Amino acid sequence: MLQQTRVEAAIPCYRRFLERFPSIEALAAAPQSDVLTAWSGLGYYSRARNLHRAAKQIAAEGLPATYREILSLPGVGPYSAAAIASIALDLPHAAVDGNVARVISRLTNDASEIASPAARKRFAAQALALLDPRRPGDFNQAMMELGATICLPRIPRCGSCPTAKFCAARAAGTERELPVKSKKREARDVPLNPAILERKGCILLIKRASTERRLADFWELPEKRLFPRLRGTKVSEFSHRIVNDRFRVTVWRMIPAKLPPVRPPAGDWVPIAELPRIPLTTVTRKALKATIAATLR
C-alpha cells in the first residue's frame, strides 16, 4: 500500500484490509471484487490484483524462502524482494527505494539522472557494498529512514546526519544539487462530467470491462453526454489527479432521475446500500460524497 500512497492515507486502509483478510489463505480464497473493494480509494489497483495473485501462489506453493522465490511473486520487483528478504528472512540483500537512492547519490556525489537504468544499477551495487550482512534488515530500514528524515530532497539536514563525514557531496558542496532528476511531464487536463441518476434507492452505474488497462472491473458513474434528452443540474466540482492526468470533474444530477430510453453498455441500477461493498472508482466515490454534501447544505 505504501507504494504510491502516503503513510497517513495507507494506515487506516491497511488496518481494514487485515480485518477483512486476516491471513494469506483468507486473501487467496476471496473473490477479486472483494479485494478491489477493500483497496478502493488507494488507486493503482494493479497492486491489489498482484497481491491477490501472490496470495494464491503462496497458498498453493508455500511461503518463499529465498530472494529469487520472493521475486517470482506477482507484482514483486527487486526493491520489494530485497526488503522482504532482508527484513523477514534476514538475507543479505540491499533494498534501494527512492530515499536510499538519494542517500547513495549524495554519499558518492553522483550527478547521474537518478531514474536512469545505469544509475539505478550502480546505486544498487553501491548499496550492496555498504550493507551490513549481519543485520541486513536493520541496515536497510536505517538507510530508508536516513533518506526519509535526514537526507531530505530539497534541504538535507546535514548537521544531524551520522554519515556527513563520509559524504562526498557534502564535501564538494553539491548536496542540494543532488540527486539529479529529469523534469516531470506537465499534467494534462481531462474534463469529466459524471451523471448521477437515482431511482427507487438505486444509482445507475457502469462497469468497466475486464480487459481495460486501468480500473478493470470497477464501477463508475456514466458520463452526462449519454443522456442528451435529460436535464441536468450541476451539484459539485473537484479535481482528481492520476499520474499525469488531472481530471476536472463536474458532477451532474440528472432530472428527471429515471431509466433513460437506452441503457449504457454494462450499466445497472445498484442499490445505494450496496455501494460500500462493490469496487467504485475514486472519482465516483468523490462524486457521490460531494453530491450528498451538496444535498445536505
Name all domains of the chain by residue range, CATH numbers in brackets: 94-182 (1.10.1670.10), 188-296 (3.90.79.10)
Distances (CA, A) of 22 to 50, 56, 63, 89, 115: 17, 14, 16, 21, 36
Q: Is the pTM of this model over 0.85?
A: no
Cα–Cα distance between 200 and 235 in angstroms, integer?
20
For residues 146-166, average pLDDT: 96
pLDDT-based confidence at residue 41 (cuts at 50, 70, 90): confident
Q: Over the range 76-90, which residues count as b (16 or more CB within 10 Å of their CB) and which as e?
A: beebbbbbbbbbebe
Pick from 113, 105, 97: nearest CA to 156? 105
Percent of residues, the chain, with pLDDT higher than 90: 75
Span 235-294, pLDDT tens digits: 999 999 887 889 999 999 987 545 555 455 568 999 999 999 999 999 999 999 888 766
DSSP class of residue 183?
Answer: P
Q: What is the pLDDT of residue 296?
A: 44
Contact between 252 and 235 (Cβ < 8 Å): yes
Q: Is the dihedral of CA 109, 243, 148, 82 positive or negative?
A: negative
Q: How confident is residue 200, by pLDDT bands cut at 50, 70 and 90?
A: confident
Q: Give the tens place of pLDDT for each residue, 92-138.
A: 999 999 999 999 999 999 999 999 999 999 999 999 999 999 999 99
